[in-house]
Copies of this chain bind each other. A is one copy, B any other.
């Protein structure tokens, strides 16, 4: 139950980033700063953290899983920069309602939703 050292290292690496990062990416960063952590362990840590709801995960266009340690643990969505992958947490009560209604209207049960907004953030837009 206690927070493992390795797992803590992965979490810190995530905390240090404002955007979504991939497992491979985090692994490279950790090794670069001297850690002897293994790739397998990074995957395991991310799996555990996302299972426990401590971090959010989403898929990039090419199917790669990317993770983020968000400030809020409550349900929210993201506005993600396509260039630097920085993300802003956003909420949308209207969207929550809409999704639930749609599901119910068509007789679906156990309804959930996946909502992400993509774009190019201010700094990256200017730089282009």
Contact = CB atoms under 8 A, between A and B. Distances in A.
Interface stretch (A1-9, A33-41, A88-96): A88-96
A125 interface: yes
Size band of the A side of the interface? 20 to 34
A90 B112 CA distance: 15
Contacts of A79: 102-103, 106, 108
A106 B94 contact: no
A90 B110 CA distance: 17
Nearest to A59: B59
Interface in A59-90: 59, 63-65, 79, 81-82, 88, 90
B90 A102 contact: yes
Given A99-B117, A108-B120, 7 more contacts: A59-B59, A90-B106, A94-B94, A94-B98, A109-B125, A113-B115, A114-B118
